[in-house]
């Protein structure tokens, strides 16, 4: 950034030329240091290898659990989540839509669907708005805990697409107006986690490949405790 005094002297149209000249100066300095040093400075943070899920839903089955309460919001989440799955390669017949009365019933339905073993991921959609009582806090905690517990105990990924907003305006913004659509984001998260599960399961097991050598002390103990043959 230029000094404050320089910022006052520069006209608005001159800022672009000023920063462009700084970039050219830095490039010349990098060339003088050599390609190896320049590459080292540009790539300051090394990339670490690791397993990642893809965004291909081809051949996978998904279930969407959506609450009817606040349907003005949840139906928008549902349409976007469904569109996200189809754009990722899922077929219409491989997407099951289940509607429940409200957000409180989402964990139970998601747990039942995951227990069938027919789905690679579950997408949970709902909308909770804060009211004048503590009802909002109780429901939010139970829904969050129930969805997380269902995912951990069944081993099936659950995507959390339940909006927890203070006002209706916040919910509208997160259902496709200003803040994107959380239903679409939940669908992509479900696709990636389902793909990641396949990548993890395809890795060879290190335990099965290595054989633990027998302990000499254990062999001596077993030989002493084994019954001797009678002559």
Task: Write out the catalytic residue numbers.
Answer: 135
What contacts 81, CB < 8 A, 6 or more positions away? Answer: 64, 123, 125, 161, 183, 184, 186, 187
Contact 95, 62 (CB under 8 A): yes
Q: Which residues contact 38 (CB under 8 A, 6 or more apart)?
A: 30, 31
SS3 34: coil
- CA diameter of the chain: 109
CB 191, CB 56: distance < 8 Å:
yes
Listed in sequence order, the residues at least 6 apart from 222 whose beta carbon sits closer than 8 Å to its beta carbon are none
Question: Using CA atoms, how far apart are residues 42 and 50, in angstroms rounded to an integer?
Answer: 22
Residues 53, 86, 192: CA angle, nearest 5 degrees: 10
| Lookup result for tokens 């995912």 | 151
């Amino acid at each position: 950034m230029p000094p404050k005094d320089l910022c006052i002297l520069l006209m608005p149209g001159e800022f672009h030329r000023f920063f462009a000249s700084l970039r050219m100066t830095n490039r010349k300095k990098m060339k003088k240091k050599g390609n190896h040093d320049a590459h080292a400075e540009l790539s300051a943070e090394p990339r670490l290898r690791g397993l990642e899920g893809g965004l291909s839903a081809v051949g996978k089955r998904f279930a969407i659990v959506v609450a009817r309460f606040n349907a003005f919001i949840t139906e928008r989440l549902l349409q976007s989540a469904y569109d996200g799955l189809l754009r990722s390669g899922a077929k219409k017949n491989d997407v099951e839509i289940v509607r429940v009365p409200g957000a409180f019933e989402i964990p139970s339905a998601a747990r039942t669907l995951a227990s069938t073993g027919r789905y690679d991921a579950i997408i949970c959609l709902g909308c909770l708005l804060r009211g004048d009582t503590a009802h909002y806090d109780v429901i939010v905690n139970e829904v969050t805990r129930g969805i997380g517990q269902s995912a951990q105990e069944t081993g099936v990924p659950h995507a959390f697409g339940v909006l927890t907003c203070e006002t209706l305006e916040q919910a509208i913004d997160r259902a496709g107006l200003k803040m994107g659509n959380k239903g679409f984001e939940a669908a992509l998260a479900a696709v990636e986690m389902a793909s990641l599960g396949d990548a993890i399961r395809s890795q060879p097991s290190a335990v099965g490949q290595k054989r633990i050598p027998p302990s000499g002390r254990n062999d001596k103990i077993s030989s002493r405790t084994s019954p001797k043959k009678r002559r």
